[in-house]
Amino acid sequence: MNKLELISALKKEADISKSEAAKIVQIFFDSMSDALTEGERIEIRGLCSFFVKNYKSYVGRNPKTGDKVMIKPKRLPFFKCGKELRERVNQ
Amino acid sequence: MALTKNKIVESVNELGFTKKKSVDIVETLLEIIKKSLESGEDVLVSGFGKFCVKQKSTRRGRNPATGEDLLLDERNVVTFKCSGKLREGINNRK
């Protein structure tokens, strides 16, 4: 399911117009992107939580060639599945 | 301060929906995402990332507290892969 399918499903199930559904889906993912960009945590009960993890620089290896490569410090979002979702995907 | 459902509801409220309708809409959206993952279908959002369902097979594990051996059943887990755009945004913050 992609963003467009999400929008049409929301339009139908929430009984709103397509442009409203598109705006809301955009707000939802933009809010999450903005929060993570600011280094803020996200907690959506039942779905998931996210926080930004800082990784220090380290010497890694190119798995194909075995060459040593210097990996710069980086930040990545860390995803944690919510309890309800975890239980539901397991049924 | 963490981003919560409540803040998203407030933003939807600002579009002109009543408070109750805004809550409904956000819950409906979350339910659509959960239903899709529950059915095993991934959710791809360009510019944000993708939520995937992965099947894990049975494996032997250990209770870290007691050191006991145990068998972990096969299960499904949800994983998230961050999009390049989001990753860039997060790393460009100064």
* Residue A35 pLDDT: 95
DSSP helix/strand/coil, B46: coil
* Residue B21 pLDDT: 96
Q: Are residues B48 and B92 in the same domain?
A: yes
Q: Are residues B49 and B93 in the same domain?
A: yes
In a domain? residue B62: no
In a domain? residue B2: yes
List, as one string, the DSSP characters of B59-82.
EEEE-TTT--EEEEPPEEEEEEEE
* Residue B70 pLDDT: 87
* Residue B84 pLDDT: 94
**Count of domains observed in chain B:** 2
Question: Can you tell me the ipTM of this complex?
Answer: 0.88
* Residue A49 pLDDT: 96
* Residue B94 pLDDT: 59
Domain that includes residue B77, residue range: 42-57+70-94
B1 CB neighbours in chain A (<8 A) are 40
Full-model pTM:
0.88
Q: Chain A residue with minimal CA distance to B31?
A: A47
In a domain? residue B64: no
Does residue A87 belong to the interface with chain B, where contact is any CB pair within 8 Å? no
- Amino acid at residue number B6: N
Q: Are residues B51 and B16 in the same domain?
A: no
Strand partners, A70: A59
Q: Are residues B47 and B37 in the same domain?
A: no
CB B29 within 8 A of CB B67: no
User: What is chain A's pLDDT, residue by residue, as a tens digit (91 residues)?
Assistant: 999 999 999 999 999 999 999 999 999 999 999 999 999 999 999 999 999 999 999 999 999 998 999 999 999 999 999 999 999 999 8
Return the ∠ at Cα B77 (arms to B74 and B82), rounded to 5°.
150
For chain B, which ranges sit under pLDDT 70? 93-94
Q: Are residues B3 and B49 in the same domain?
A: no
* Residue A56 pLDDT: 94
In a domain? residue B4: yes
Q: Are residues B26 and B51 in the same domain?
A: no
Distance from CA of B86 to the nearest CA of A (A): 7
Return the ∠ at Cα A87 (arms to A85 and A89), rounded to 5°.
70
Would strands A68-71 and A74-81 be described as parallel, antiparallel, or unpaired? unpaired
Q: Chain B residue with minimal CA distance to A52?
A: B90
State the burial class of residue A7 (Cβ atoms within 10 Å of its Cβ: 0-12, 13-18, 19+).
Answer: buried
For A1-91, where are the alpha helices, taking DSSP H only? 3-14, 18-37, 83-88
Q: Are residues B16 and B48 in the same domain?
A: no
* Residue A79 pLDDT: 96
In chain B, residues 74-93 whose CB comes closer than 8 Å to chain A: 75-80, 82, 86-87, 89-91, 93
- Nearest by Cα to A2 from B48, B4, B86: B48
